Structure 1
Amino acid sequence: MSSEAEGRFHMVDVSPITSGPLPDTPGAARRAWLRTEDGVRIEAVYEPSTATSVTDPAGSASGTAVVLAHGFTGSAGRPAVRRAAQVFRRHAHVVTFSFRGHGRSGGLSTVGDREVLDLSAAVRWARELGHARVVTVGFSMGGSIVLRHAALEKGTDARADAVAAVSAPARWYYRGTPSMRRVHWVVTRPVGRLVGRYGLGTRIDHKPWDPVPLAPFEAVPLIAPAPLLVVHGDRDPYFPVDHPRMLMAAAEAGGGPAELWLEHGMGHAENAAADELLDRLGNWLARP
């Protein structure tokens, strides 16, 4: 599957429903509804940095904006996402949002396929708010999305200037752990999708991928020259450590700058990320 083939759905400009200048009050959050290229309404939140070095007394933007992409069944309002955002605010301005089918956003989850359009809308909004440098960080499903987004949007106004993928899969259809077999049950079975909707607050599209999107390991070589960071726990119950190693092998083939942080004792995604790791990650994302 080539990036050109997948790129055919990138046809219409993304524009935010709510736009305008930054908040007048230093430290104030700004909420918006964004419209994706395929017409899905996405909830998003912008929060200025708490670091005085990147926020002037008037509260206007300078420095980096971090766009945070949550995992499957997450949302902008989930406690683990809020915790990560508040740690990242020590280093940069932060945009959080809910993928389609999650939280208050519209549409149905395609479990990592068309969610690239949601991330593109959030990145473009960050640039409209005045940020010249916008970076992305994704957890689990969000990690696979930031990798594909960085490859597909390279050179556009929705580009990522650096990308970090935490607990991301390297390849699709992985069922090698009990946790991932449960995820596949939720996604592929009618009763599973009911559990997803009413038990997990996630509305899942019943249609299979057509075409199958670019796999994360296929996207990684296309990300260069943007810096890439892969973060993974050695006790991840969803994706074992051959996934981050596969991503790093692909990064080496692409010739771009890439790092791997294999975290001892860490489990999966934003729920397992300690504040110390999030602080290190925020520092990496914010550095020029």
Structure 2
Amino acid sequence: MPDGRLSFLGRLNRTPKHRLAGWAVLGYAGVVCAGALVGAQILLRARSRWVPGEFMPVVRRGNDVLLPFSRETLSRGVVGIMPLLPNKGHAVLGPPEREKALVRRTVQHERGVLPHGSLAWVSTFVYNGTPMQLGVAYEDVAVRTEVGDMPAWHIPAISESDGSGERDAVVIVIHGHGGHKAQGLRALPALRRSGAASLFVTFRNAHGAPRVGRGHLTLGDREAEDLTAALRWAAEAGYRRALLFGFSMGGNIVLSALRPQHGPLALPVPGVLLDSPALDWLDVARANGRRYHLPAFMAAHMAGVVKWLVTRFGGQNFAAVDQLAAAPTFTRPILLFHGDRDRTIPVTQSDALAAARPDLVEYHRVEGAKHIRCWNIDPQKYDSAVEEFVHRVLNTGTTPSFISSEEHPHA
């Protein structure tokens, strides 16, 4: 007597092969389109209010902190921790060590108090506030753009504190997709020691910035106009040159701003710093399909649909933000960081850029680092590379030959 299973298999065997093939194609297309819709929405919209992290109780034993097992607390390298109750402070904790059912980390730097028994926010992003979390004074400023004012933090150079008013170089730091200005605060001490001022900026449709149209991102294309506006702000503030420092999508924004379609720049830009940059968005879509264990052919098809959807609804020109294709035209020295455990932006993109332009790129491929977590693995090495690069490009004695007066009419 056939059971339901055999009955089903019997009906399946009697179904014409062309009909089965049609159902398979429809099912495949449905999966691809559903995944592509989700992927396109992620690419087009990013307005997260909070810096990612986890909340947990703190056990304090002298200079050590014991925390529960979690994705953040077990992460390689350092993490940041901010107690919420009973009072606020901030600390940087060293690498993890397992202790029975807990994770032990040593306090490396502490501002305020991290008390025993407090409830705390723990994150590999380390900081979730303002430069005051590092004890650095700053001023809130607005970068005027054609779509509204972009909020920014301005940190004058240490040398400016003598009241002379002399301003030379500023490093303009721009965060990534779904990020916040706090994303770049890990590099602030190194930038301070380099002698340069800093301007931490955001861009349209990010949290805290003006919303434009439907709030869709263009993956670095139109956002580059907000960065060029930041260069104008710096020129009007008296700075004579600027370095650009981009994280993730911010790296694409930096490279897009330097391309000819965005016109002349308000200041000379003698160098660029990139951390885990998104250089090829179609490749990012493919890689994230593979991240969720899709076969390579399905991930490729899904990425193609994502590209079509993003172009259709966001008006995105993928060629305008394909920085690997544009690499032969780059002219400025680049300091590049990327972790080999990055599951968001494939490290192979930075490998390709470094291979294409060894004459310009100083590449730090960080073993064990996840997306935008290169600093966490070895803060001292990261900071040293940043300081040395800034000193090198700012102290060559002359303006690099690839910067022309036509390109920088306000310089």
Give the TM-score, by structure 2 length.
Answer: 0.50
User: Does 2:383 match 1:281?
Assistant: no
Whole-Å separation in 1 of the counterparts to 2:347 and 2:386? 19
C-alpha displacement of 1:155: 5.5
Greater length-normalized contact order (CA 8 Å, ≥ 6 residues apart): 1
Unaligned runs of 5+ in 1: 1-26, 189-204
2:337 is equivalent to residue 231 of structure 1: yes
Map 1:1-288 → 2, pairs under 5 A: 28-36=137-145, 38-50=146-158, 54-55=159-160, 57-58=162-163, 60-76=165-181, 78=182, 80-91=183-194, 92-107=196-211, 108=215, 109-152=217-260, 156-174=265-283, 175-178=285-288, 206-210=313-317, 212-224=319-331, 226-252=332-358, 257-269=360-372, 271-274=373-376, 275-276=379-380, 277-287=382-392, 288=394
> Counterparts of 2:225 and 2:280 in 1: how far apart (Å)?
20
Asked if the contact 2:219/2:252 (under 8 Å) is kept, the reply is no
Matched-pair contact (CA < 8 Å) for 2:186–2:375 = no
Work out whether residues 48 and 93 of structure 1, in 8 Å CA contact, stay in contact via their aligned partners in 2: yes
Q: Is the 8 A contact 2:248 2:277 kept in 1?
A: yes
The Cα shift of 1:245 comes to 2.0
Q: Which moved more, 1:241-250 or 1:208-217?
A: 208-217
What is the SS of the residue equivalent to 2:179? coil
Distance 1:279 1:105, change over 3 A: farther
Deviation beyond 4 Å, 4+ runs, structure 1: 179-182
How many residue pairs were aligned?
235
Aligned-residue offset at 1:86: 4.2
Q: Any gaps of 5 or more consecutive residues in structure 2? A: 1-135, 293-301, 307-311, 395-411
- CA deviation profile, 1:56-109 (whole Å, cap 9, x unmatched): 511624342100010111122x3x333333442222210001111113210233
CA distance in 2, matches of 1:181, 1:59: 53
What is the TM-score with the length of structure 1 in the denominator? 0.70
SS class of match (2:200): strand
Name whichever structure is richer in strand by fraction.
2
> Which residue of structure 1 aligns with residue 36 of structure 2?
none
Check whether the contact 1:248–1:260 (CA below 8 A) recurs between aligned residues.
Answer: yes
Q: Deviations over 1:199-235 (max 9, x none)?
A: xxxxxx95241474241113333231x2122221122
Q: Which amino acid is the alignment partner of residue 147 of structure 1?
A: L
State the AA in 2 paired with 1:48.
Answer: P
* Identity across matched positions, percent: 27
* Secondary structure class of the residue paired with 1:120: helix
C-alpha distance in structure 2 between counterparts of 1:120 and 1:114, whole Å: 10
Distance 1:83 1:179 in 2: 30
- Please report the RMSD computed on the Cα atoms of aligned residues, expressed in angstroms: 3.2
